[in-house]
Structure 1
Amino acid sequence: MFKSVSIRQLEYIRHVANIGSITQTAQLINISPSSIREAITAAETELGVRLFFRTPAKGVSLTTEGQRFLLLAEPLFEAKAQFEHQVAGIAKQNEQELTIGVIGNVGAMVVPELIKNLSETVPFSRFNIVELESSNLVESVRTGKLIAGFGLNDFLHPSLKFVELFPTQVHIAVNAAHSLAQKAELELSEMANEPFIFPNFGGASSYYSGLFDHHNIRPNTRYMVNSTEMARRLIEEGLGYSTFNARPSIHRHNPEPMIKRIPLKTDYWSPTFGMFYLLSSTFSNALNNIEKAARATWRQSK
């Protein structure tokens, strides 16, 4: 069993491998050269192989065994970094700061009602809300930069738990004065010649391209926008229509008086919107409160 070398000593060895000099490494991390040599000697003795080639003129370089040794040690370094981050997060939790992320194209629609319900449940002193694209949002939650994320289930990672909140439904968004605004549902063929406002951001662009391909329709793309907010503004001005998945929560007043959202008649797949967080998260109490607030929010919006 390999047990005579600490993680700190493993880090010394990794520093030496990166720098190529024991002396320079010692100066950089403010450790005596003898401590670094002891770490290397202990590891080589335990393994029975040499980790470094040593040449007076060129310093040190990893042997084949040394390269494999450090490769095997990488999960330990990653686990240590994650542990330190989560321990630091305990202090943040005590400060009652809530840091969550949401996919940028729906953040303005879904976050306000969620925060309102959460504020009534737990008196967090500060909310830190980050808007990201789907893949970046998942990565930020996976690496512990965010306590939780709200988005679609199309970029999930095995280390995350996904809590389904509501299935999304593809719908057409048109100006409220549009001749088709009062229809109960629409087909893409009815909009084929209308000016299309293409949502060119994150996973939306590939999703809606696939939607039109699925129906063998080429949209009359007049505008390409990089945010849902811009698409809504253009619709309000009567410049065209767009396609959306997520819907705003139901407020006491109409949040989009100039826009009518009409379900699209389609058999094309739709992702699910929900909350996700690390299975190994230490913020269990905060996550329970967030989940309760989220479920309350979208029960109201059904």
Structure 2
Amino acid sequence: MNFTLKQLRYVEAAGRCGSITNAAELLSISQSSITAAIDALEQALGFDLFIRMPAKGIQPTPSGKDALSHIRNFLEQTNHLDSDLRSIGGQPVGALRLACYVTTAPHVLPPMLKGFVRDHPGVRVELAEGDMVSVVEQLLDGSVDLACTYSNGLPEQVSFTPLFSAPPYAIISADDSLARKPSVTLAELAERPMIVLDLPFGRDYYTDLFHSRGLRPRIAHSTRSSEIVRALAAGGFGFSVLNIRARESARPEYVCLPIEDYTPPIEFGIISIAGVRHPRIVRAFLDHCAKISSAGIFDDLVVGRSGDSLKN
């Protein structure tokens, strides 16, 4: 059976994009090159990989889905082999593909990457983002090598490396009477309108904090943006609950208050495919993150219990 790595990459991109046009744009090649690769592989395999749908793109056939899974696994192995071979006798080189939970990315990625890219000049970091469901899917389908996310709701196919505990905290207008307290309780918060971060796992996690105490939060606003959450809280539209504090201190209009009676905090860390041997470049990044975590580089992202209220 004769096909090339280039053809496999073209076919995989078409399957991932769901469109020959989008795959061609992604790879900066002609649409005819994508089509030729699909035709050649279908002829070699003896079955159709995709259903062509005019004006709607392409959709994998059942056999095509299985083939794409094998192709992605194979391409993943070749990428790792290339990285390891290039790294023999020296520093890791190549691409590290890293996904991150979108609301945490601006706060955790800079400290993660700063020292790593300095110490590993031969490494190119390719970043992706998404909600907690999306980053796991990107890891499982081979789109990324690692993903940064919280510990809740993870499937058994992934391994979780914790970096720091992220207890929930309240964010509330500096004009609210609660802002003068060193900490708050869930019961005190439940008396006020809530601004909820409405992302997969996030909404249920934040509302379940109250439900576990027999309380029902008064949800007044919902948004998929943590920046809008902060802006609404600063504007006095209600309180919200988050886990990671913004590093910037650009909004004196709100404060971050520890919550006294929360359930055990969730962990923030890095997920990888369980039970696999990682290439050198991935191991180097995991080792780097473990070291900076032990050094306390993430401590200023955490709002603790009573006595740790912070103006943001």
- Which band: TM-score by shorter chain? 0.5 to 0.7
Q: Normalising by structure 2, what TM-score?
A: 0.64
Matches of 1:32 and 1:76 in 2, distance apart?
Answer: 13
Matches of 1:214 and 1:77 in 2, distance apart?
Answer: 43
Which residue of structure 1 aligns with residue 258 of structure 2? Answer: 263
1:293 is displaced (CA, Å) by 3.4
Which residue of structure 2 aligns with residue 12 of structure 1? Answer: none
Which residue of structure 2 aligns with residue 57 of structure 1? Answer: none
Which residue of structure 1 aligns with residue 132 of structure 2? Answer: 134
Which residue of structure 2 aligns with residue 143 of structure 1? Answer: 141
174 and 92 in structure 1: CA distance in 2 versus 1, 3 angstrom threshold: farther
Q: Is the 8 A contact 1:151 1:275 kept in 2?
A: yes
Q: Does 1:292 pair with 2:283?
A: no
179 and 295 in structure 1: CA distance in 2 versus 1, 3 angstrom threshold: farther
Residues 57-91 of structure 1, C-alpha deviations (whole Å, 9 max, x = no match): xxxxxxxxxxxxx99xx989845540233313555
Could you tell me which runs of 5 or more consecutive residues in structure 1 were left unpaired when the two chains were aligned: 1-5, 9-26, 37-69
* Structure 2 SS opposite 1:154: coil
1:179 is displaced (CA, Å) by 2.5
1:181 is displaced (CA, Å) by 2.1
258 and 300 in structure 1: CA distance in 2 versus 1, 3 angstrom threshold: farther
Matches of 1:195 and 1:224 in 2, distance apart?
Answer: 11
Matches of 2:270 and 2:41 in 1, distance apart?
Answer: 44
Q: Normalising by structure 1, what TM-score?
A: 0.66
Q: Does 1:102 pair with 2:100?
A: yes
Q: 2:268 aligns with which of 250, 270, 273?
A: 273
1:29 is displaced (CA, Å) by 4.4
Matches of 1:90 and 1:232 in 2, distance apart?
Answer: 44
1:126 is displaced (CA, Å) by 4.0
Q: 2:173 aligns with which of 172, 175, 190?
A: 175
Q: Is the 8 A contact 2:83 2:280 kept in 1?
A: no
Question: In angstroms, what is the RMSD of aligned CA positions?
Answer: 3.5
Q: Is the 8 A contact 1:117 1:297 kept in 2?
A: no
Which residue of structure 1 aligns with residue 15 of structure 2? Answer: none
* Structure 1 SS opposite 2:177: coil
28 and 223 in structure 1: CA distance in 2 versus 1, 3 angstrom threshold: closer
Q: Which runs of structure 1 show a deviation greater than 4 angstroms over 4 or more consecutive aligned residues?
A: 27-33, 74-80, 89-95
* Structure 2 SS opposite 1:288: helix
Q: 2:232 aligns with which of 210, 231, 234?
A: 234
1:256 is displaced (CA, Å) by 5.2
Which residue of structure 2 aligns with residue 164 of structure 1? Answer: 162
Residues 14-56 of structure 1, C-alpha deviations (whole Å, 9 max, x = no match): xxxxxxxxxxxxx9548989x97xxxxxxxxxxxxxxxxxxxx
The one-letter amino acid of 2:78's match is V
Q: Which has the larger radius of gyration?
A: 1
Which residue of structure 2 aligns with residue 82 of structure 1? Answer: 73
Matches of 1:159 and 1:232 in 2, distance apart?
Answer: 34
Matches of 1:80 and 1:147 in 2, distance apart?
Answer: 16
* Structure 2 SS opposite 1:100: strand
Q: Is the 8 A contact 1:122 1:289 kept in 2?
A: no
Q: Is the 8 A contact 1:246 1:273 kept in 2?
A: no
Matches of 2:121 and 2:215 in 1, distance apart?
Answer: 50
* Structure 2 SS opposite 1:181: helix
297 and 119 in structure 1: CA distance in 2 versus 1, 3 angstrom threshold: farther
